[in-house]
Amino acid sequence: MLLEEKECRNHDFSVETPPPIQAPWSRQTESLEPNPTQSQPTDELDTEISEAQAQLANLIRQRRLIELQQQVSDEQVALEVARKRLAATSSKDSSPTVSTAVNDSVNRQDKVLITPMRNGYSKAGIIQTPNTALIAPSEQTVSPDLRTPQSNPSSVELENTALSGPTNPKLKISGEPATAKESAPANSNNQTLPAPNIPVYHGRALGEFKNYARCLEHHFDRYSSWYITDERKVTRTLKHVAFDLQNEWKRQIRNKPPEQLQIGVSPEVARARYVDSYQRPFQSVTDFSNWIQQWEPHFHNDLSERDRMRHLFEHLSNKVREEADKTYLDFTHYYDFVVYLQRIEDSIDKRAGPLRKKFSNPRKRHHTGS
Q: Is the pLDDT of residue 145 over 50?
A: no
| Residue 273, pLDDT score | 92
Percent of the chain topping pLDDT 70: 54
Interacting residues of 233 by C-beta distance below 8 A, sequence separation 6+: 216, 220, 227
251-277 pLDDT per residue, tens: 877 877 666 656 667 888 899 999 999
Please compute the mean of the pLDDT values over residues 140-165 and round it to a whole number.
Answer: 42
| Residue 19, pLDDT score | 55
Interacting residues of 156 by C-beta distance below 8 A, sequence separation 6+: 146, 147, 149, 150, 172, 173
CATH topology of domain 267-352: 1.10.1200
Q: Is the pLDDT of residue 165 over 80?
A: no
Interacting residues of 71 by C-beta distance below 8 A, sequence separation 6+: 120
Please compute the mean of the pLDDT values over residues 33-47 and round it to a whole number.
Answer: 67
Please compute the mean of the pLDDT values over residues 27-32 and round it to a whole number.
Answer: 54
323-345 pLDDT per residue, tens: 999 988 999 999 999 999 999 99
Highest mean pLDDT: which range of 22-26, 31-35, 240-244: 240-244
Q: Is the pLDDT of residue 121 over 80?
A: no
Q: Is the pLDDT of residue 142 over 50?
A: no
The 8 Å CB, 24+ separation contacts for 119-124 are 120/71, 122/75, 122/78, 124/202, 124/242, 124/243, 124/244
CB 210 within 8 A of CB 201: no
| Residue 102, pLDDT score | 45
pTM flag (> 0.85): no
Q: Is the pLDDT of residue 321 over 70?
A: yes
Please compute the mean of the pLDDT values over residues 31-47 and round it to a whole number.
Answer: 66
Higher pLDDT, 272 or 169: 272
Rounded to the nearest integer, the mean pLDDT of the chain is 70
177-218 pLDDT per residue, tens: 333 333 334 444 445 677 788 889 998 888 898 899 999 999
Kindly list the domain boundaries of the chain, sorted by start residue: 65-253, 267-352
Q: How confident is the model at residue 353 (pLDDT cuts 50, 70, 90)?
A: low
